Amino acid sequence: MTTAQDGTAVPTDEVLLRATDVTKHYPLRGARRVLRAVDGVSLEVRGGETLGVVGESGCGKSTLGRCLVRLTELTGGRVEFGGQDISTLSTRRLRPVRPGMQLVFQDPQASLNPRRRAGDIVAEPLLVHRYGDAGAVRRRVAELFDVVGLAAAHLDRYPHEFSGGQRQRIGIARALATNPRLIVADEPVSALDVSIQAQVLNLFADLQEEFALTYVFIAHDLGVVRHVSDRIAVMYLGEIVELAETEALYTAPAHPYTQALLSAVPDIDDGTLADDGPPRERIVLTGEVPNPADKPTGCPFRTRCPYARERCATERPRLAPGASGRQVACHFPLAG
């Protein structure tokens, strides 16, 4: 058990978020096909842990993140938060659930209203959720600024008057305002200089410890998520192809796609290839990522997989549990 911002006990290690066969399909204008942005994702996130989600651009990470906090309607499947199925709740019923789950966006510049002062931006969720009178809101905003390392003098400034890292701190303060238990952070450091990335990642880590937060942390490369994740889900064309404890995934990737991603990971600490673990040969994937509206039959990765065999073209591999909680969707996994 740990203690949340509002003083309530938070059970850790219990499943806080459970997604079951979540799909999000977008209809294509003038075509019978659909774009399979998220295509049958099942995962669990335990209280207090960080689940990293990685994959190339367009693989469905943001769409999945939005499905998990019900910022977009699901096409199919279900999402449970704190044991409650939130995927079919009406807007009215969803309202009391919303404060508990928040999203931090990739681009702090685009996600903050340029015409509003930083203090008002952070106050907005408090007003929406009727936190208290004007004095209580002001005190809470000042407290949140302090928590994310912004000065009181910053309250009246506009977003353009901040650096990228400071703007992301405003976004984080806004997400924290309603005492969430879960934060889905969608590439929260990708838009920042490398030197600033580490500071913001450290802030995420400190906040998690202080407020017993649970994170789903989205990134497009494995370098960033390694430092913050307990477990990592690797996505390809709307599906999770591997989900494993971070160290297990780094030392012995089981899915050929994970292996390829990993072979090109620059370590965030020194900008060079990670030198721990077994030596890695750089695997350059050939071929384009297929269109999610026109996914290959069988294994979605088979058009780029160096290990593809006949079976891969006909039979879709399912994400199956393996040793030590690892799950992998491959007919011929590289590790157990």
Q: What's the closest the beta carbon of residue 259 comes to ligand SF4, in angstroms?
A: 10
Residues 25, 238, 261, CA angle at the centre, nearest 5°? 160
Q: How many CA atoms lie within 13 A of 305 on its CB side?
A: 26
Q: How many CA atoms lie within 13 A of 123 on its CB side?
A: 18
The answer to whether 115 touches 158, Cβ cutoff 8 Å, is yes
Structure tokens that stand for 286 in this block: 């050939």
Binding flag, residue 158, ligand SF4 (CB under 6 A)? no
The answer to whether 231 touches 46, Cβ cutoff 8 Å, is no
Binding flag, residue 63, Mg ion (CB under 5 A)? no
Q: What's the closest the beta carbon of residue 322 comes to ligand SF4, in angstroms?
A: 13
Binding flag, residue 71, ligand ATP (CB under 6 A)? no
Helices 164-176 and 194-211: crossing angle in degrees, nearest 10, is 20
Mapping DSSP to helix (H, G, I), strand (E, B) and coil, where does residue 82 land? Answer: coil
Q: What's the closest the beta carbon of residue 254 comes to ligand SF4, in angstroms?
A: 9
Report the residue number, 46 or 70, with the smaller CB distance to ligand ATP: 70
Q: What's the closest the beta carbon of residue 206 comes to Mg ion, in angstroms?
A: 25
Q: What's the closest the beta carbon of residue 63 comes to ligand ATP, in angstroms?
A: 3
β-sheet with 76-81: strand ranges across: 34-46, 15-27, 76-81, 84-85
Report the residue number, 19 or 37, with the smaller CB distance to ligand ATP: 37
Alpha helix ranges (H) inside the chain: 61-68, 91-94, 108-111, 118-128, 134-147, 164-176, 194-211, 222-226, 246-251, 256-262, 310-314
Report the residue number, 47 or 55, with the smaller CB distance to ligand ATP: 55
Q: What's the closest the beta carbon of residue 239 comes to ligand SF4, in angstroms?
A: 11
Report the residue number, 37 or 285, with the smaller CB distance to Mg ion: 37
Of positions 5, 23, 62, 197, contacts Mg ion by CB under 5 A: 62
Query: Which residues neighbour 58 within 8 Å (Cβ) at sequence distance 6 or greater?
Result: 289, 292
Q: How many residues of this chain bind ligand ATP (CB under 6 A)?
A: 13
Cα–Cα distance for residue pair 70/82, rounded to 1 Å: 14
Report the residue number, 159 or 292, with the smaller CB distance to ligand ATP: 292
Phi and psi angles of residue 281, each rounded to the nearest 5 degrees, phi first: -90, 135
Of positions 15, 26, 107, 266, contacts ligand ATP by CB under 6 A: 26
Of positions 181, 302, 326, 327, contacts ligand SF4 by CB under 6 A: 302
Residues contributing to the site for ligand ATP (CB under 6 A): 26, 35, 37, 55, 57-63, 220, 292
Task: Give the binding site for ligand SF4 (CB under 6 A).
Answer: 255-256, 299, 301-302, 305, 307-308, 312, 317, 330-332
